[in-house]
């Protein structure tokens, strides 16, 4: 289980990682569809990946969402997971 940090701390610590994910096509489509998304950021257990979760603003659930795994040091996207309203995985792609 990952522990995501609040949005105001995420922008401070992982601003570059969030900026990298904003250029991905799946994230752009999600932002245009949802409007104003919420961002949560966390690290995996090995602390080599940063996980950026884009989800619907003010939603209790974590879906619909786009989850992007970014390498912590090289700032390259590794994996993109897109979920729909019923929490089904629409797309799971390794980059």
Q: Could you tell me if 81 and 63 are in contact, meaning their C-beta atoms sit under 8 angstroms apart?
A: no
In sequence order, what DSSP letters do the residues of 46-83 get, joined into one string? TSSEEEEEEEETT-SSS-SEEEEEEETTT--EEEEEEE
**CATH number corresponding to 7-94:** 3.10.450
Query: What is the full per-residue pLDDT of the chain (95 aa) written as tens digits?
Result: 456 676 677 778 899 999 999 999 999 999 999 988 988 898 888 889 999 999 987 766 778 999 999 999 999 999 999 999 888 999 999 98
The answer to whether the CB of 45 falls within 8 A of the CB of 29 is no
Q: What pTM, to 2 d.p., does this model score?
A: 0.86
């Amino acid at each position: 289980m990952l522990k995501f940090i609040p949005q105001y701390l995420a922008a401070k610590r992982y601003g570059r990682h969030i900026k990298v994910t904003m250029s991905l096509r799946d994230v752009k489509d999600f932002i245009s569809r949802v409007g104003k998304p919420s961002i949560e950021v966390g690290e995996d257990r090995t602390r080599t990946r940063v996980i950026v979760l884009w989800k619907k603003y003010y939603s209790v659930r974590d879906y619909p969402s786009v989850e992007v795994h970014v390498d912590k040091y090289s700032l390259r996207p590794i994996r993109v997971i897109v979920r729909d309203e019923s929490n089904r995985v629409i797309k799971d792609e390794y980059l």
